[in-house]
């Protein structure tokens, strides 16, 4: 029997706590292969301090350099007061942001960010320059290793912070240029006039959120020019495109709130109210917001976020004694947007046409939708197609947020694969949806087909995304198909379905590809699961004697016990990402449109599995284009 005494009560210092529970401070750890991995949060925490200086009128440029995993950020603000350099980066609950006069509308008010970076870095250097003098200190995993005296300096005033993330925590990490650049563009758009120099490239915006939407929609056909409105502590931009779904970018005090919050909810409500009042008609909110692309940035005193990584705003007020977030945004949008519509009648005319088009489309499929929903209900979805889990992303019960974020649905092909996955899964957080045959090629079709096709209709019901992502049941939607030609074909068809009808599921980072091993290499002592030929050869070298090598041709060939190792803590998921300047139409046309020699050569050159029969590849390509 385990004893519970005073000896079991431990007190950790700040460094030990951060290193023991790094996820509390930087979210998921990861290796840098996805934009929300912890190494990008480390970068953000450092740059945020430099942004605060710029916002308060100190320094017009920030220099960022990343080379071989080493990060340096140099600003030209006021510089940390020299007598407090060590305390500001190594003493918890210490910093200038507690003085609301100095940092009135800062992103981070808890004095933790820079300390977390320090504790999670193998090397951390801080140098402050003020009034012709400088001081620096060097740390290792939060422990000070060297502290200089205050010396004279000819450098420009400001602060330099350099760090190397600890590989013991961020295993095999690598900063990806495209994710760093996205972070820096966000900073540039939200701080018009600021120059950010990153590895000798300049990031600069003149018109803020107008530039943001301009870049995001560069390859998309818009119904009317982007509307751009600015006020004190608020800026918005919006337009309508041609794709299904809604697309939003929301920010608070310069922080990209990827999960929205009170400000985004208020913005969506205010736009609906304004359009209804202007056109004097009670349009369905879904018709107004269909295909809408919008951005909102607000500044709030003492913001309250729902997590340490600040991805969702929870504040109800703009300031302690100020108006509510909802009231503040509603007043601005209803007045300024209404004025804009009166001054720009051609834009108002195009908006009305777009709303009426959505209304017509919704009414056209109303009958089909009703019948489809009845069929889905009678199909006994949860027993025949879906082996559900207990925790869901949209649970209103007091379920731990971390568990909700782990909620996952695997979309599989065939009974054997779904059976193995079902036996191996974590019933608490992992669900399995079984496809019957190959899904329909949706390229170029309207949403009516989703309700007419039983498999696609049941899939959208399982995900609960019929009316948008607000009620999405799973944080991660994982395509789990075989590592062969048929599996690749099904993967392409599912990607087409999501990109065609639910692109916001992809944009918001919910869609993944499950990577499963191609080979099992083992002897009597050791077993290795290998994801490519190189790993197979390395495994063979590690074993003594002649190894047994198994080539997995399908998920159904992998036993439930083995599957447990692939979908547990070591699960390999490849995110499906839509980067800036990426055209969904161009992607779908290239992969799913008319077959071309160029496309055949690309797919053959980039296949991730091995196959001996070339004609099977050609046949699959022809099948994709003919469906």
Alpha carbons within 13 angstroms on the beta-carbon side of residue 7 total 3
Q: Is pLDDT of 627 > 70?
A: no
Strand partners, 430: 408
With a cut of 50, say whether residue 109 has pLDDT above it: no
Architecture of domain 366-516+554-626: 3-Layer(aba) Sandwich (3.40)
Q: What is the pLDDT of residues 463-496, one digit of tens each?
A: 999 888 889 999 999 999 887 778 888 999 999 9
pLDDT at 312: 82
pLDDT at 380: 61
Q: Is 359 exposed, middle or buried (0-12, 13-18, 19+ CB in 10 A)?
A: middle
Q: Which residues, including other chains, have CB under 8 Å from residue 79's CB and lie 6 or more apart?
A: 128, 129, 130, 157, 158, 159
Q: Is the pLDDT of residue 102 over 60?
A: no
Phi, psi (rounded to 5 degrees) for 512: -140, 160
Residues 257-285 as b or e (16 or more Cβ within 10 Å = b): bbbbbbbbbbbbebbbbbbbebbeeebee
Sort strands 573-575 and 511-514 into parallel, antiparallel or unpaired: antiparallel
Location of each CATH 3.30.565.10 domain in the chain: 16-204
pLDDT tens string 165-203: 999 999 999 999 999 999 999 999 999 999 999 998 999
Distance CA 582, CA 354 (A): 23
Task: pLDDT band for 4, please (50, 70, 90 cuts).
Answer: very low
- % residues pLDDT > 70 (the chain): 87
Tokens 């190397």 -> residue: 164
Count CB atoms within 10 A of the CB of residue 382.
12
Among the listed ranges 16-20, 142-146, 206-210, 225-229, which one has the minimum average pLDDT value? 16-20
Tokens 């701080």: give the residue: 191
Residue 20 pLDDT: 83
Q: pLDDT per residue over 349-406, tens digit each? A: 999 999 999 999 999 888 888 888 777 777 665 556 899 999 998 887 766 777 888 8
Burial (CB count <10 Å: 0-12, 13-18, 19+), residue 200: exposed
Q: pLDDT tens across 392-444, in order?
A: 988 877 667 778 888 999 999 877 788 888 888 999 999 999 988 889 999 88
Lookup: tokens for 43: 């970068």
Distances from the Cα of 444 to the Cα of 293, 449, 621, angstroms:
21, 11, 18
Q: What is the pLDDT of residues 574-602, one digit of tens each?
A: 889 887 767 788 788 777 877 667 767 76
Closest CA to 551 of 577, 527, 518: 518
Task: Report the chain's mean pLDDT, rounded to a whole number.
Answer: 85
CATH 3.40.50.670, the chain: domain bounds: 366-516+554-626
pLDDT above 60: residue 500: yes
Instruction: Give 562 or 38, the one with higher predicted confidence.
Output: 38
Q: pLDDT-based confidence at 107, cuts 50/70/90?
A: low
Q: What is the pLDDT of residue 266?
A: 96
Is it the case that residue 212 has pLDDT exceeding 90? yes
Helix runs in 426-559, H state only? 448-452, 454-463, 485-501, 503-507, 533-542
Q: Give the strand pairing for 511-514 and 519-522.
A: unpaired
Give yes or no for residue 8 having a pLDDT over 60.
Answer: no
Q: 171-180 pLDDT, tens per residue?
A: 999 999 999 9
Distance (Å, whole) CA 367 – CA 399 = 37
Over residues 288-326, the pLDDT tens digits come to 999 999 999 999 888 887 765 667 888 888 888 889 999
Q: What is the pLDDT of residue 106?
A: 57
pLDDT the model gives residue 297: 96
3-class SS of residue 89: helix
Neighbouring CB atoms inside 10 A of 112's CB total 19
Average pLDDT over residues 99-113: 52
Q: Which residue has the higher pLDDT, 284 or 372?
A: 284
- Cβ neighbour number for residue 176 with a 10 Å cutoff: 16
Beta sheet of 511-514, edge-to-edge order: 386-387, 430-435, 408-413, 476-480, 511-514, 573-575
Query: What is the spatial distance between Cα 228 and Cα 209, in angstroms, rounded to a whole number?
Result: 7
Domain boundaries 16-204, CATH class: alpha beta
Q: Are 620 and 488 in contact (CB under 8 A)?
A: yes
Residue 61 confidence (pLDDT):
96
> Can you tell me the mean pLDDT for 511-529?
88
Q: Return the number of other C-beta atoms located less than 10 Å from residue 609's C-beta.
A: 14
Is 565 a residue whose pLDDT tops 50?
yes
The pLDDT value recorded for residue 7 is 54
What is the model's pLDDT at position 344? 98
Three-state SS at 322: coil
| Extended beta strands in 505-591, E state | 511-514, 519-522, 527-530, 548-551, 573-575
Query: CATH assignment of 209-364?
Result: 3.30.230.10
Strand partners, 324: 317
CATH 3.30.230.10 in the chain is located at 209-364
Average pLDDT of 113-117? 90
């Amino acid at each position: 029997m385990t004893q519970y005494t005073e000896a079991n009560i431990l007190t950790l210092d700040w460094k030990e706590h951060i290193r023991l529970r790094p996820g509390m401070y930087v979210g998921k750890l990861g290796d840098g292969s996805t934009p929300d991995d912890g190494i990008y949060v480390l970068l953000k925490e450092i740059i945020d301090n430099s942004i605060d200086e710029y916002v308060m009128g100190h320094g017009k440029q920030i220099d960022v350099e990343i080379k071989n995993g080493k990060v340096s950020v140099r600003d030209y603000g006021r510089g940390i007061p020299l007598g407090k350099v060590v305390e500001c980066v190594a003493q918890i609950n210490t910093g200038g942001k507690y003085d609301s006069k100095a940092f009135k509308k800062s992103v981070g008010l808890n004095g933790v960010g820079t300390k977390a970076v320090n504790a999670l870095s193998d090397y951390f250097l801080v140098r402050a320059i003020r009034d012709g003098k400088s001081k620096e200190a060097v740390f290792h995993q939060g422990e000070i290793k060297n502290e200089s005296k205050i010396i004279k300096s000819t450098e420009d005033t400001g602060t330099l912070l350099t760090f190397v993330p600890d590989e013991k925590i961020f295993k095999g990490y690598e900063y990806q240029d495209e994710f760093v650049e996205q972070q820096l563009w966000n900073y540039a758009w939200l701080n018009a006039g600021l120059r950010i120099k990153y590895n000798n490239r300049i990031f600069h915006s003149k018109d803020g959120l107008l530039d943001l939407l301009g870049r995001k929609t560069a390859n998309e056909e818009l119904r009317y020019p982007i509307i751009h409105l600015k006020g004190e502590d608020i800026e918005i931009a919006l337009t309508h495109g041609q794709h299904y779904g809604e697309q939003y970018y929301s920010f608070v005090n310069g922080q990209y709130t990827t999960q929205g919050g009170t400000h985004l909810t208020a913005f969506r409500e205010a736009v609906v109210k304004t359009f209804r009042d202007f056109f004097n008609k009670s349009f369905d909110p879904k018709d107004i917001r269909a295909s809408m692309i919008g951005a909102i940035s607000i500044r709030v005193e003492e913001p309250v976020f729902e997590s340490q990584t600040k991805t969702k705003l929870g504040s109800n007020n703009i300031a302690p004694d100020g108006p509510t977030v909802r009231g503040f945004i509603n007043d601005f949008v209803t007045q300024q947007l209404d004025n804009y519509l009166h001054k720009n009648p051609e834009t108002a005319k195009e908006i009305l046409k777009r709303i009426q088009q959505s209304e017509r489309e919704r009414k056209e499929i109303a009958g089909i939708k009703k019948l489809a929903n009845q069929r889905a209900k009678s199909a006994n979805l949860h027993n025949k197609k879906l082996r559900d889990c207990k925790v869901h992303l949209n649970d209103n019960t007091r379920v731990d947020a971390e568990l909700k974020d782990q909620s996952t649905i695997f979309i599989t092909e065939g009974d054997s694969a779904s059976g193995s996955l079902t036996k191996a899964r974590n019933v608490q957080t992992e669900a399995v949806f079984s496809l019957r045959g190959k899904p329909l090629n949706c390229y170029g079709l309207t949403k009516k087909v989703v309700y007419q096709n039983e498999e696609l209709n049941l899939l959208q019901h399982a995900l609960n995304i019929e009316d948008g992502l607000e009620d999405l049941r799973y944080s991660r939607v994982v395509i789990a198909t075989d590592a062969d030609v048929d599996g690749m074909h099904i993967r392409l068809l599912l990607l087409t379905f999501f990109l065609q009808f639910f692109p916001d599921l992809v944009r918001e980072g919910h869609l993944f590809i499950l990577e499963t091993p191609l080979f099992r290499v083992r002897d009597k002592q050791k077993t290795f699961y290998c994801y490519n030929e190189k790993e197979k050869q390395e495994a063979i070298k590690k074993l003594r004697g002649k190894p047994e090598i198994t080539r997995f041709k399908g998920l159904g060939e992998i036993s439930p016990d083995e599957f447990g190792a692939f979908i547990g803590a070591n699960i390999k998921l490849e995110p499906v990402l839509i980067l800036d300047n990426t055209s969904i139409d161009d992607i779908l046309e290239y992969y799913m449109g008319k077959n071309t020699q160029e496309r055949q050569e690309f797919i053959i050159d980039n296949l991730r599995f091995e196959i001996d029969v070339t004609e099977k590849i050609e046949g699959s390509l022809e099948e994709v284009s003919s469906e």
